[in-house]
Each structure stands twice: as C-alpha cells, then as structure tokens.
C-alpha cells in the first residue's frame, strides 16, 4: 500500500459527493434551458470544441455513448433548433455545430451560472477566492487524468 491509497479512498468518496452537492442539473435548469442534463452536456461539448463543431463520432466518445444513442440525442437537439448537422468532405463524416439559437442558449447558461458564482464568491475574502479557483483548476486537471485509460500492470 502506498501513501496515496488512503487519500484515494477519500477522493473516491468526495468526487460523487461533489457532483451531488454542485447540483449541476439544478444550475442548468435555473438557466431556463429546458434541456435534459445529457442534452446540455452534448451542447456544451460542441460549444467548447475547437471551431465550435465536433463529429458525431467524437461526441459519442466524449459522452461515452453508443453511436445510435448519440445520433438520437443530436436528432433531438437539431429538432429544437440548437444544433445543426453538416457533411464533411468525406460524406461519412457528420459535423455537429451550434446554431445561432444554440449559441445563445449556451451563453444564457453561462451567464446564469456566472451570476450564481459571483454571488457566492462575493461572500468570500480575496485569498479564499483565489484558493478556490486554483483548487478547481487542480480538480479539472485531476479529472482529465482520471479519465485517461489506466495502463494494466505487467
């Protein structure tokens, strides 16, 4: 057992608790989007992608969903006017991008979240705010590492 093992147990308890306590779906709902958490995540991924577009295959991978499930999710977002599809030069490649309406919805979402975060941060002193931002950056980097495939022991 390494020094990290007891800490890993704490992290395993804290990560789900953090997800529940952040109540992200409630934050998204407060932004008035009317979308499900999966739909929001899909739109956010497209919004944050390079060039604000992704292939459906990349979306499926990021969402950890099957191709058909991702297609159905994208279909719903196209139907409500938030996403648009376009074929690539290779006709087998389908690109998904935000429509103007979709970009507006993502901006309203960010603004709603920003307003709530500002309210909370205003109650903190400057060093605590800075420490929180630094800790969140470390949590994000940690999350990226946890999501990477783990090499099998030899």
Question: Would you state the pLDDT for residue 76?
Answer: 95
Which residues, including other chains, have CB under 8 Å from residue 69's CB and lie 6 or more apart?
Answer: 60
| Range 100-118 average pLDDT | 87
> Residue 89's domain spans which residues?
22-147
Would you say residue 13 lies in a domain?
A: no
Number of domains the chain contains: 1
Question: Would you state the pLDDT for residue 14?
Answer: 80
Question: Would you state the pLDDT for residue 143?
Answer: 83
Question: Would you state the pLDDT for residue 30?
Answer: 54
At 144-153, the pLDDT tens digits run 888 776 666 6
| Range 54-61 average pLDDT | 93
Lowest mean pLDDT among 21-35, 56-70, 83-97: 21-35
For residue 149, what is the DSSP state? P
Would you say residue 8 lies in a domain?
A: no
Alpha carbon distances (Å) from 117 to 47, 62, 69, 141: 20, 26, 33, 20
Nearest to 67 by CA among 89, 108, 96: 96
Would you say residue 3 lies in a domain?
A: no
Would you say residue 15 lies in a domain?
A: no
At 2-24, the pLDDT tens digits run 677 788 888 887 877 777 677 66
Q: Is pLDDT larger for residue 148 or for residue 94? A: 94
Question: Would you state the pLDDT for residue 25?
Answer: 59
Please say if the pLDDT value at position 139 is more than 60.
yes
Give CA–CA dist 55/63, Å, rounded: 12
Would you say residue 10 lies in a domain?
A: no
Q: What is the mean pLDDT of the chain?
A: 84
Which residues, including other chains, have CB under 8 Å from residue 92's CB and lie 6 or more apart?
Answer: none
Would you say residue 17 lies in a domain?
A: no
Q: Is pLDDT larger for residue 139 or for residue 33? A: 139
| Range 98-124 average pLDDT | 89
Would you say residue 1 lies in a domain?
A: no
Question: Would you state the pLDDT for residue 129?
Answer: 94
CATH code of 39's domain: 1.10.10.10
Cβ-based neighbour number of residue 77 at 10 Å: 24
Would you say residue 77 lies in a domain?
A: yes
């Amino acid at each position: 057992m390494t020094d990290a093992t007891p800490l890993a147990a704490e992290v395993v308890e804290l990560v789900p608790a953090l997800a529940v306590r952040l109540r992200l779906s409630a934050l998204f709902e407060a932004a008035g989007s009317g979308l499900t958490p999966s739909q929001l995540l899909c739109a956010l991924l497209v919004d944050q992608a390079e060039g604000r577009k992704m292939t459906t295959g990349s979306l499926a991978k990021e969402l950890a969903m099957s191709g058909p499930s991702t297609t159905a999710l994208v279909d719903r977002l196209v139907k409500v006017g938030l996403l648009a599809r376009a074929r690539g030069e290779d006709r087998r490649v389908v690109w998904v991008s935000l429509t103007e309406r979709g970009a507006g919805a993502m901006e309203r979402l960010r603004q709603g979240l920003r307003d709530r975060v500002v309210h909370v941060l205003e109650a903190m002193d400057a060093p605590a705010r800075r420490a929180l931002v630094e800790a969140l950056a470390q949590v994000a980097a940690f999350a990226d590492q946890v999501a990477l495939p783990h090499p099998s022991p030899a």
